[in-house]
Amino acid sequence: MDLQLSGRVAVVTGASKGIGLAVTRTLLDEGVRVVAASRKSTPELEALGGDALIHVPVDLMNPEAPGQVVSRAVEEWGGLDILVNNAGGPPPGVALPRMSFLGPADDDWRVMFEFNLFSVVRAVRAAIPPMLRRSGGSIVNVSSGSARLPAPMNVDYNAAKAALNNLTKALSEEFAPQGVRVNAVSPGPVRTAWWTEEGGAADIIAAQAGTDRDNVMDSVAPEMMKLSTGRLVEPQEVADVIALLVSPRSASTTGADFAVDAGFLKEI
């Protein structure tokens, strides 16, 4: 299927690994010019190379960073058509899961919202004017199935993502009539660094369950989270949905939230 994306300009945050890397690769394959934002590059991102990819090293916890990334896209390629707000999850230096509401203190809540909500607010604020100058664009916010499944585990993260879902709907309501579509994608547990890195979720759960990280990702986590497919989601599976959403082939899709979650969310 031709996604009709060739020649368009995109910004992807959290682009150096996981879902962001998969989105960047997929958009490049579709002929998109991509500004990839992350704190640092990775060999996997560098391997994509080519004239259609620019890496901007930024810390999105810096209030100025989202605007700087969007400005770079406009300076290099004259405008912006696509924004994928993928950066999120545990803020730098934070390990999840947290098992109780009583765990995170005020500062923990602040940095969680800074990373998972306010950085998106700033990126969208910067992106919409150049999109409007091109008579439209597409924004995809990467949320989480946990935004719609209240639980005491990771309560600060879940609340930030619930706010992101509300923001997505509000943005769509205001800007869809002007040609800017805004949607969300809500992954379940994805086999990314959040799980796989040393000290990450797999190690934390393994220590509590008396097992090893591989068993957590292959068996314990899918069973604990009641995943219908019996396995974690792969980053490319999320990236494929995002690529379709930013495509003109999804021209009538806005204000929606797509679950790519291995059957995690059971509610209607």
Domains in the chain: boundaries = 9-189+233-260, 191-232
Sheet with 257-260, strands from edge to edge, namely: 53-57, 33-38, 9-13, 82-85, 137-142, 180-187, 257-260
Query: How would residue 150 be classed by pLDDT, with cut points 50, 70 and 90?
Result: confident
Contacts of 59 (CB under 8 A, 6+ apart): 39, 65, 92
Q: Looking at the predicted structure, is the pLDDT value of residue 151 above 90?
A: no
Residue 80 designated active-site: no
CA atoms within 13 A on the CB side of 174: 9
Marked catalytic residue, from 77, 113, 118, 157: 157
Q: Which residue type sits at 144? A: S
Nearest-angstrom CA–CA distance, 137 and 178: 9
Q: Could you give the C-alpha distances from 56 to 29, 73, 93, 128, in angstroms and in order?
A: 20, 10, 21, 20
Displacement of CA 260 from its chain's centroid (Å): 12
**Phi-psi region for residue 115, left (φ > 0), alpha (ψ -120 to 50) or beta?**
alpha
* Nearest alpha-carbon partner for 84 in 148, 14, 125, 141: 141
Mean pLDDT of the chain: 96
Q: Looking at the predicted structure, is the pLDDT value of residue 7 above 90?
A: yes
On the 0-12 / 13-18 / 19+ scale of CB atoms within 10 A, 210 is exposed
Nearest-angstrom CA–CA distance, 98 and 223: 19
Query: How would residue 1 be classed by pLDDT, with cut points 50, 70 and 90?
Result: confident
| Predicted pLDDT of residue 215 | 94
- What is the third-level CATH fold of 9-189+233-260? Rossmann fold (3.40.50)
Span 158-172, pLDDT tens digits: 999 999 999 999 999
Cis peptide before 97 (omega within 30 of 0): yes
* Nearest alpha-carbon partner for 180 in 242, 140, 137: 137
Q: Please state, for a pLDDT cut of 90, what percent of the chain lies above it.
A: 92
Residue in the structure block whose two tokens are 């009641």: 226
On the 0-12 / 13-18 / 19+ scale of CB atoms within 10 A, 87 is buried
Span 78-116, pLDDT tens digits: 999 999 999 999 999 898 899 999 999 999 999 999 999
Span 188-229, pLDDT tens digits: 999 998 899 889 899 999 998 999 999 999 999 999 999 999
Strand ranges, E, within the chain? 9-13, 33-38, 53-57, 82-85, 137-142, 180-187, 257-260
